[in-house]
Chains A and B, each alone.
Chain A
Amino acid sequence: MSNQSESPNPTSSSNKITLKTSDNEVFEVEEAVAMKFCTVKQYFDDENNNNVTSGTSTTLIPLPNVESHPLAILITYCKKHLEIKANNADNKKEMEIDMEHYEREFLKNVMPQELTELILAANYLNFKEALDFFCRAVASAIQNKSVEYVRKFFGLESDFKPGEEEKLREEFAWSFEGVDED
């Protein structure tokens, strides 16, 4: 988990941080939100180490690998994440339940196609909780499904020579037992 609260930072908690995406959109976010993006946090830490006084003014952080669309979604997710955490500061279990509930709702509004760019954005920003959550989402979508189903899901085609796949299926027969119907 992040230790953003303990880390010394030039900016006070009410400060805003400005993020600029690859498609030149600018997002102004709370410092607490930005600090969940370890890539951004790292940027500040480095600044600190270099003794650059940056806390006072509007620092603009360029994010050349993130587009505005996934960033907007990630910021929403992050805000909610922090809110749930703050509301349940002394009850980890409650927090997990609330989080689970929110994540379930969240996924209802996300297209599978969006998931890839969300994963890439979360990965670039090094936002661990989100990355973990999206990976879980993909995993649960293909859990216990047939090979054919998963291939379609990933948009893949088999490139095995005839007989090769059958051989593998035989070798790993135990893992093909009890698969859900497509």
Chain B
Amino acid sequence: MAMILRKVWGSVSNRPGSSSSSSSSSDRNRIFSSSSSSLSLSSLSLGAFDQLPADILMQIVRKLGAKDAMKMSVLCKSWKSLISDNLLWIFFLQNHPFESWDSIFFAETSLRSGYPLQAFPTQMPELSFMSIYSQRMQVPGSVVIDGGSGYCKFGWSKYARPSGKSATFLEFGNIETPMYSRLRHFFATIYNRMQVKPSNQPIVVSVPICHYDDTESAKASRRQLKETIYSALFDMNVPAVCAINQAILALYAARRTSGIVVNIGFQVTSVVPILHGKVMRKVGVEVVGVGALKLTGFLKELMQLNNINFGSLYTVRTLKENLCYVAADYEAELSKNMPASFEITGEGPITLSKERFQTGEILFQPSIGGVRAMGLHQAVALCMDHCHDAELTSDDAWFKTVVLSGGTACLPGLAERLEKELHGLLPASISNGIRVIPPPYGADTAWFGAKLVSNLSNFPGPWCLTKKQSRLKSKLNLMW
């Protein structure tokens, strides 16, 4: 008997830690199922198992993984209380293959209430991370689409990153103009590219930053844009739609609900003050007429002056993305010579020197690029000044964090330079404690913000509008 037991135990435990061959695991199953006929399971009991201290049981449970651990809570009451330990579930969440614990924690503590956000999330009851884990496991996968003015990033909420990108401006024109047919075509194309049926899952979609003003007409345009997005999607039988402003999504990606988002879009750059997840239009959104396209165009001009000619703006853009940076001190940089090369397929290496930082400089000095506009730092300072004057909260802390977003905002050195310029422009009382954060997820920042929302434990619940609700809303003629 003991011999058989040993054999069984040996084969049960035959499961090598990580790099197991599949054969050994099927072996295990085979021996196990054959043994169950000849052996009663109770003889396999660990016996004095209850002698083990809780911390060792915890070690075992950690090795089991989340799925088995969750199951263990059904064993009996004492196991249930052991398993419901928050630290255990924080451990599992921290070991999520591609979601950072900081982001999960931020989302679950700050975003669960849906829109509008609770101003003081700390007042929420203590969270059980076990339930949160379990609920997150059961949240349906969603389609996440961030339709930027230049490029659209799309993908699955349960995946590590966007699965694709398409040039919005080329294929669909200006998606900020709420034309039903254009949006319908846009969404249909993306669903087609993702090879999914719109009716199978909810969608989280970004609303472009446009119609900034606090006027009635801008308000009407915004409402119309949002309504058009909803009706295009509901007409395609999407079950639930969550549409959030792109700037707010970028802020969420940086794990914040308040701050100033500087979104460098395709055509323009927007400076958007956000308090508790709401755009403060009364304070004012600043818009600067310099965007990604302008930078690429300017780089092309600069290169032409050096007799480097490319017909394709794509090539120039590639050089911009790989070689350009923002100087900490423009004048000082001019006296240096910092050439760098990048290999363009079929063209060989291209070397740029001063162009590398002159390109980005038009964000701060639009006049060198022949643009009549204020510099980015001036726009942000102006916005901060307005925020300060508006006295929306007891202190100025809410607008001291500046989050950059958009592909061009990824230029190295941009965040540092902006921070430096802001300190120069603003009185110390306002500039004290300012922090400029580079795009937390590069060009895909807003997409990741949307993904954060789509994976919330109570999604789609408070964040989504369903087709039924939308009908009801339009019937009641409620403003959305």
Contact = CB atoms under 8 A, between A and B. Distances in A.
Interface of A: 100, 104, 107-113, 115-117, 119-120, 123, 131-132, 135-144, 147, 149-160, 165, 168-169, 171-176, 179-182
A140 B2 contact: no
A134 to B, nearest CB: 9
Interface residues of B, number: 52
Nearest to B70: A175
B181 interface: no
The main secondary structure of chain A at its interface with chain B is helix
B46 A115 contact: yes
Interface stretch (B47-55, B278-286, B329-337, B348-356): B47-55
B41 A152 contact: yes
Given A111-B9, A147-B74, A172-B71, A120 B80 contact: no
Contact of A100 (B16, B44, B138): B16
Given A113-B46, A142-B68, A153-B44, 15 more contacts: A104-B10, A104-B13, A112-B45, A143-B65, A143-B68, A150-B75, A151-B75, A155-B46, A156-B75, A156-B76, A160-B77, A175-B67, A175-B68, A180-B32, A181-B33
A143 B47 contact: no
Contact of B63 (A123, A139, A144, A158): A139
B397 interface: no
B134 A174 contact: yes
Contact of B76 (A116, A158, A176): A158
B6 A111 contact: yes
B6 A168 contact: no
Contacts of B13: 104, 107, 137, 140-141
Contacts of B16: 100, 104
Interchain residue pairs A-B with the least CB separation, the first 6:
A108-B10, A175-B70, A139-B63, A107-B13, A140-B15, A155-B45
Given A158-B75, A158-B76, A119 B42 contact: no
A156 B79 CA distance: 10
Nearest to A169: B74
A138 B64 CA distance: 9
A126 to B, nearest CB: 12
Contacts, number: 145
B5 interface: yes
Contact of B36 (A139, A155, A175, A182): A182
Interface in B35-93: 36, 41-42, 44-53, 56, 59-61, 63-68, 70-77, 79-80
Interface string B129-155: 001001001100000000000000000
Given A120-B52, A138-B46, A141-B13, A149 B68 contact: no
A108 B9 contact: yes
A177 to B, nearest CB: 8
Nearest to B41: A152
Given A111-B6, A131-B56, A153-B44, A147 B75 contact: yes
A26 B17 CA distance: 34
Contacts of B5: 111-112
A177 B448 CA distance: 29
A171 B7 contact: no
A140 B13 CA distance: 6
8 contacts: A100-B16, A108-B7, A110-B9, A115-B46, A116-B48, A135-B60, A138-B60, A139-B68
Interface in B166-222: none
A153 B46 contact: yes
A139 B6 CA distance: 17
A80 B46 CA distance: 25
